[in-house]
Amino acid sequence: MAARMKLKLKTVFVLYFMVSLMGLIYALMQLGQHCDCAEHDLPKDRAISRLQEELYRLQGQIRQLEKAKQPEKKQPPKSSLSTIFVITPTYARLVQKAELTRLSQTFLHVPQLHWILVEDSPRKTPLVSNFLMKSGLTYTHLNVPTAKERKLQEGDPSWLKPRGVEQRNEGLRWLREDRKTEPGDDGQQGVVYFADDDNTYSLQLFEEMRSTQRVSVWPVGLVGGMKFESPVVEGGKVVRFHTGWRPSRPFPMDMAGFAVSLRLVLANLDACFDGEAPMGFLESSLLKGLVTVDELEPKADNCTKVLVWHTRTEKPKMKREEALQVQGLGSDPAVEV
Amino acid sequence: MPKRRDILAIVLIVLPWTLLITVWHQSAIAPLLAIRKDEGGEGRREAGGQDSKEYCASDKDIVEVVRTEYVYTRPPPWSDVLPTIHIITPTYSRPVQKAELTRIANTFLHVPNLHWILIEDSQRRTPLVTSLLRETGLNYTHLNVETPKNFKVRGDTRDPRIPRGTMQRNLALRWLRETFKNNNSQPGIIYFADDDNSYSLELFEEMRSTRKVSVWPVAFVGGLRYESPKVNAAGKVYGWKAVFDPHRPFAIDMAGFAINLKLILAKPQAYFKLRGVKGGYQESSLLRELVTLNDLEPKAAHCPKVSSAFIDLSVQL
């Protein structure tokens, strides 16, 4: 009886082996074959391949157009355009993703732009990490939390404490570290611009700032309670500033109204923003260590055009959301807004 | 007894293999093999930054290569295959107008086959808007119509009884009907985009496949994190996840839907109602004349992140 069982088991195993071998051979043969997939040829697949063909054709067209444009415009090849390093502090709030999305859509139009996004957070958040990955921009993602006593509390007016100081300084620190690894003149070429995530930037602004030798300045719209604030230019030099608030400041302008050449940033390793500076003196705390008013380079047609606006975004009204959340029926938090 | 055990053993061993072979024949393995032979699979990696707009599934493929070559021609060249997106934006003079229009133009410059219809609420076309439009390089149409003073919002407070931008949007609809009267073959999608909103680039690719009216969630509206349509398992809209009057026929924001041009041309009487419209009912006043709830196509449901949210929503509420 036992022998018969053993025999049976052996045959079972042999059978098993044969079946799996045949199955494997069948599968391998299928790989090389042209199969009749008429019933599987879904309309979606057809649409996808049609769209992809269209995409290649368009990309080919774009490349041709680019080649045709270059000799006309005498545009220097991409590598010799100086890089614009944009340092943006950001913090988590409802409209963060919307603001960053809008900003990235502007930056995507600017060649040779390196975005340094610094989060006010002890850890890099997945929202910003994923967003940057998909943005298509050249970027550096940093983070540094603001000390509690320096942070604005819930009811505080926005002008009470300076914001983004640690983050901008961290951006500068990273930049200085990074440039150490790129010796040579090329690595020193560039412009540093401090761009907040809720302002509006025109594309022309970036082309104006690219030629900064030391510190360049231009008007900023809708800031300081005025239609615009601007340096006043006479004879190609800045003589004074048109501003409504505390014009006695060494540099009475907004963060969005100037850019510093990378060379200057690297030559003055200690220059950074002073968080203890009084209201409105934040920009001056950096610039006074770098340049004098006399050396400022006016851009935007001798400071007659407004190319950047200090827009602010209204905080969305969440009364109904809060009411729902009390009942446990709030919007699904898994959906990233 | 041993015999039964043997038989049981044999059955247990052979069963999985028979299952495997039957599943093999019926499953998607065969078409997967077919697609791999198609060159389509390779090219997706070259597409770079442009491709992520098409549909989310390709995200994981292209993440690393995205930055190699971004093209700076603006706007992208016109395609003969893609349906045109007609964007209708009413605008009016105020200090932030130029900033808002600049920002939104920077967004639109990324979208292929986009036609921007900008309607000013003014007696004459202003030079500010005229020169801004010209400098962007976009394909645009510049119109204007002034809202009579008794309809205008007094001061700047948002009085919901007087819908802003209605006459301007209606003018755009009329312009479209007059321009595309005989040319029914040109596919187009109509979207009402206000100048102070933020739009992701994926949105425009989602709306391109609209057959009648498509809908999607909108953030920061109606006092919620987002309002959205409620979608059942069959992929049909059956209600609205909104707190502000969810029993409106279409409890959706102006930025939450897009209409196929053919539908607008087929129903030449459909316009936004000008008078006697309750706050929040403006969108319904137009959509009611075009589609029923059943005809709506929910979008932004293909992306894995959001589609799971949709399922949660329909279960929760």
Domains of chain A: 83-217+254-300 (3.90.550.10)
- Of B281, B256, B264, B280, the C-alpha closest to B212 is B264
**Strand pairing partners for B114?**
B85
The C-alpha of B265 sits at a distance from chain A's nearest C-alpha, in angstroms, of 26
Pick among A40, A46, A83, A228 to test the B interface (most B CBs inside 10 A): A40
The C-alpha of B270 sits at a distance from chain A's nearest C-alpha, in angstroms, of 32
Neighbours of A336 (CB within 10 A): 13
Neighbours of A200 (CB within 10 A): 25
* Residues in A touching B22 (Cβ below 8 Å): none
Cα–Cα distances (Å) from B91 to A298, B120, B133, in that order, read 32, 5, 13
CA gap B174, B170 in Å, rounded: 6
A53 is catalytic: no
Complex ipTM > 0.90? no
- Of A309, A118, A87, the C-alpha closest to A204 is A309
Model confidence, pTM:
0.71
Q: Judging by beta carbons within 10 Å of its beta carbon (0-12, 13-18, 19+), is residue A98 exposed, middle or buried?
A: buried
CA gap B137, B76 in Å, rounded: 10
Neighbours of A140 (CB within 10 A): 16
Instruction: Please tell me which residue in A119, A283, A314, A322 is annotated as part of the active site.
Output: A283
Annotated ligand binding at A106? The verdict is no
CATH number at B84-215+253-300: 3.90.550.10
Annotated ligand binding at B196? The verdict is yes
Give the pLDDT of chain A (337 residues) as one tens digit per residue: 566 666 677 887 888 788 888 888 888 887 766 655 555 556 667 777 777 777 777 777 777 776 666 554 444 444 578 899 999 999 998 888 888 988 999 999 999 999 999 999 999 999 999 999 988 899 999 999 988 776 666 666 666 677 888 999 999 999 998 888 776 777 778 999 999 988 999 999 999 999 999 999 999 988 878 888 899 999 989 998 988 888 888 899 899 999 999 999 988 888 889 888 888 888 999 998 888 988 999 998 888 999 999 887 777 777 777 777 788 777 777 777 7
CA gap B295, B305 in Å, rounded: 24
Cα dihedral A143, A148, A153, A158 in deg (nearest 10): -60
Going from N- to C-terminal start, the domains of chain B cover 84-215+253-300
CA gap A119, A18 in Å, rounded: 61
Are B28 and A40 within 8 A, CB to CB?
Answer: yes
Are A311 and B99 within 8 A, CB to CB?
Answer: yes
**Strand pairing partners for A308?**
A201
Task: State both tokens at B279.
Answer: 């706050």
* Residues in A touching B70 (Cβ below 8 Å): 108, 136
* Residues in A touching B217 (Cβ below 8 Å): 335
**CB-based contact, A317 to chain B, within 8 Å:** yes
CA gap A331, B242 in Å, rounded: 10
